[in-house]
Amino acid sequence: LGSGVSPGVVLAFLLAGPATNLATIVLVRQEMGWRVAAGYVGAIAGSAVLLGLATDLLVGRLGLDVAGQVGEWRDIAPAWLAYGCATVWLVLTARWAWRRGRKWLRG
């Protein structure tokens, strides 16, 4: 939204993204076949596009300025909290990678 994308596009990507990951599609295909997997992907894509268009229509009819409000939300968390969380995440990720790498090297 902050870069100028419409709210409907944002909603469509948020709806379709998690539901159409490769693992889910492969699982549906293995368990139920190609037709059901194709129908699944089509239904997710179609409903995401329709809900995105409906969202854009609703935002336009109500005259909402959603993109103008995004800048106000960027500074909700103080910088020390954002950098602290990023540091904790990096330490935990490095620790996990170190353990996984040592286990992999040992065989």
Q: What is the pLDDT of residues 53-78, one digit of tens each?
A: 999 999 888 887 776 655 555 556 67
35: confidence class by pLDDT, cuts 50, 70, 90: very high
Q: Rounded mean pLDDT of the chain?
A: 84
Question: What is the C-alpha separation between 107 and 102, in angstroms, rounded?
Answer: 9
73 vs 70: CA distance, rounded Å: 5
Dihedral sign, CA of 83, 85, 87, 89?
Answer: negative
- Tally helices (H) and strands (E) across the chain: 5, 0
* pLDDT tops 80 at residue 40: yes
Q: How much is the pTM?
A: 0.57
CA distance 49 to 43: 10
Between 51 and 66, where is the model more confident?
51
pLDDT of residue 99: 85
Better-predicted residue by pLDDT, 68 or 10: 10
48 has pLDDT over 80: yes
